[in-house]
Amino acid sequence: MPEWGMRLVMSLGFVLGLMIVRAIVHGGFRVQKGRNLSALVVFTAGVRVMLGTLSHVDLLGPFHPLTGAETVRAVNGVLALWVLILVIQFLEPFLFAWMVPASRRKSFPTILRDMVRVFLMIIVVMSVLKTGFGVGLGHLLTTSAILSAVIGLALQSTLNNILAGITIFVEKPFEVGDWIGLGDREGMVDQMSWRATRIWTRDNDYVVVPNSVLAEGQLVNYTKPAQLHREHFPIGVSYSAPPNKVKKVLLEIARDASRHGIMPDPPPEVLLRSYDDFSIEYDLRFWIEDFRRRDVIQDAVRSRVWYYFRRHGIEIPFPIRDVVLRPLSRKDSEDRGRRQRTEILDALRHVSILQPLADEDLERLVPEVLLQSYASGENLVVQDDSGDCFYIILKGRAGVFVLNDRGIEIEVATLSRHDHFGEMSLLTGEARNATVRAAEDCIVAVVSRDAFKHVIESNTAILEALTEIVHARLETNRQRLAASGKAGDELPPERDKGWVRSTMENLLGVGLLRGLTRKGSGGNVEPKGSRSRGGDG
């Protein structure tokens, strides 16, 4: 075989070997990065090898323009350019992994990565132009002055965004993951690039904001320098409500909503802002840490305002205007009151501790019963708190929760219509033994200790029956705790009937009825044995 044939075969074999290596890398190892660039490397290398082969054969010779030194140098420059860019693409991840700690790689700005990549590309291109084409940096700058001016004018907006992106990177007003606000836009920073910054809004919209807008506008960072953020809830209240009462109720609302994200420290505060035309304006201020849940936390506060204000008789006034009111007829008002009294009386008949009361006693109790509304998720009573009333559910459902030994709440029961709770705290003065929380919007009848006292004073004979019921309930609860594995020192103390009766008498304020005698006509006190049966109880 002639020498030129041997060279041709070797050249073809070299190119075929490059193609096989490329196929193994991208096909066998499934490497997608640099796939197109490696094809250019193989093609350019094949051209270079073929030029080298043709320059050594008699067909063209070494002095032909196709195989001349300038052509070979140009092809070498292009090949070096492709190879160096391919090497940069493969080494770039390892370079950043070495330069940037693992804890900051996810939040590392894209703009810095792009700056390093462009800087390396410029060095490669300038080196190839110098070695492969003999073009120096001075010649390049001189010949491209007009072209640079034209490109600069055409890309003025893009260059402004790029320079603003560099400014944002240097000053760091925000980072990836921060919640920012710009005008009517608000969201979490997802990505920062040369031209724009991308944020996710609360509505799950992807907003692209040019960096020049961020650099020139008034930017609010809700995450830096600290995640603690103060929220405001302005509300107008009727002039008939005393300011101190309104402030107390609003602070109770903030404390109740603490498990939804309101911080206990710094504590919430309420300020009276102004006296307006038809209302007094208050500002409830509280602190949150998770700005992403701001709307949910505000909703928890707003929802509770309606229920708390309704229970405490605080009115949110409507705007003042001239209207014509049509009063309800007397019959409609009486029918509504009658239905309400019937509903309360029916609920009282389902309460076990009220079984000793006659119907006339229950009817006397009805006018003193309060109806209150509670929102879903709101606590009606809290474990270990003191209590001076008990509740009967008229509408809705509530869950009963107790704290275990590790301080974790466990739901132990569900209450529904005509179920009652809290009567043991009312009669014995003991703390609440569970937390009752509304599972949905609830309406409850509330019987206070004062209302109960009025019934007992009119008929002290029912104290004996109440003593039996309460004593049996205390014994049942104690036995239930003992069966659950509670140690002796963890069980409530044993109580006899005498303790139960004296405790109820003291709490209800009827203890004096036991030892007092009725005064005779001459003002003398009759002996204890001469009391009537009803007063003796």
Indicate whether 134 belongs to any domain.
Answer: yes
Residue 437 and residue 359 share a domain: yes
Assign 180 to helix, strand or coil.
strand
Domain count, the chain: 4
Indicate whether 500 belongs to any domain.
Answer: yes
The per-residue pLDDT for range 281-333, each reduced to its tens digit, is 999 999 999 888 899 999 999 999 999 999 999 999 887 665 656 666 677 77
Indicate whether 451 belongs to any domain.
Answer: yes
Q: The CATH number of the domain where 273 resides is what?
A: 3.30.70.100
Strand partners, 109: none
Residue 344 and residue 279 share a domain: no
Indicate whether 257 belongs to any domain.
Answer: yes
Q: Which band of pLDDT confidence, cut at 50, 70 and 90, is reported for residue 519?
A: very low
Of 10-19, 22-31, 161-170, give the lowest mean pLDDT range: 22-31
CB 491 within 8 A of CB 482: yes
Average pLDDT rounded to a whole number, residues 397-410: 86
Residue 209 and residue 77 share a domain: no
Residue 268 and residue 381 share a domain: no
Q: How many residues does the chain have?
A: 537
Describe the crossing of helices 110-133 and 156-171 by its angle, rounded to 10 degrees. Answer: 120
What secondary structure letter does DSSP report for 265? S
SS (H, E, C) 331-381: HHHHHHHHHHHHHHHHHHCCCHHHCCCCHHHHHHHHHHCEEEEECCCCEEE
Dmax (CA) of the chain: 155
Please list, in sequence order, all residues whose beta carbon lies within 8 angstroms of the beta carbon of residue 244, skipping any fewer than 6 positions away.
Answer: none
Residue 445 and residue 509 share a domain: yes
Of 6-10, 159-163, 427-431, give the lowest mean pLDDT range: 6-10
Distance (Å, rounded) from C-alpha 102 to C-alpha 240? 62
143, 172, 207 — which closes off a domain? 143
Indicate whether 304 belongs to any domain.
Answer: yes
Average model confidence (pLDDT) for the chain?
76
278, 294, 311 — which closes off a domain? 311
Average pLDDT rounded to a whole number, residues 439-451: 89
pTM value?
Answer: 0.56
Sheet holding 219-221, edge to edge: 206-210, 196-201, 185-192, 179-182, 219-221
The per-residue b/e assignment along 47-84, b for 16 or more CB within 10 angstroms, e otherwise, is ebbbbebbbebeebeeeeeebeeeebeebbbbbbbbbb
Residue 171 and residue 106 share a domain: no
Indicate whether 521 belongs to any domain.
Answer: no
Q: Pick the more confident residue, 147 or 192.
A: 192
Dihedrals φ, ψ of 352, to 5°?
-65, -40
Residue 486 and residue 383 share a domain: yes
Of 168-182, 186-200, 409-423, 494-508, give the lowest mean pLDDT range: 494-508
- Supply the pLDDT for residue 24: 73
Residue 383 and residue 495 share a domain: yes
Q: Pick the more confident residue, 489 or 453.
A: 453
CB 430 within 8 A of CB 418: no
Half-sphere exposure of 182 (CA within 13 A, CB side): 25
Q: Pick the more confident residue, 532 or 411.
A: 411
Half-sphere exposure of 426 (CA within 13 A, CB side): 19
Question: What are the helix (H) ranges across 265-353?
Answer: 294-311, 330-348
165, 200, 221 — which closes off a domain? 221
Say how many Å lie between the first and final Cα of the chain, rounded: 134
Distance (Å, rounded) from C-alpha 304 to C-alpha 137? 72
Please list, in sequence order, all residues whose beta carbon lies within 8 angstroms of the beta carbon of residue 536, skipping any fewer than 6 positions away.
Answer: 460
Residue 307 and residue 291 share a domain: yes
DSSP 408-472: -EEEEEEE-TT-EE-HHHHHH-PPPSSEEEESS-EEEEEEEHHHHHHHHHH-TTHHHHHHHHHHH
Residue 357 and residue 470 share a domain: yes
- Supply the pLDDT for residue 527: 34
Dihedrals φ, ψ of 339, to 5°?
-65, -40
Q: The CATH number of the domain where 448 resides is what?
A: 2.60.120.10
- Residues of the domain holding 255: 229-311
Residue 173 and residue 258 share a domain: no
Q: Pick the more confident residue, 423 or 79.
A: 423
Q: Which band of pLDDT confidence, cut at 50, 70 and 90, is reported for residue 116?
A: low
CB 508 within 8 A of CB 452: yes
Indicate whether 34 belongs to any domain.
Answer: yes
- Supply the pLDDT for residue 425: 83
Average pLDDT rounded to a whole number, residues 193-203: 83
CB 433 within 8 A of CB 421: no
Residue 494 and residue 362 share a domain: yes
Q: Pick the more confident residue, 450 or 533.
A: 450
Indicate whether 120 belongs to any domain.
Answer: yes
Q: How far is CA 404 from CA 431, 433, 472, 498, in A?
A: 16, 12, 25, 32
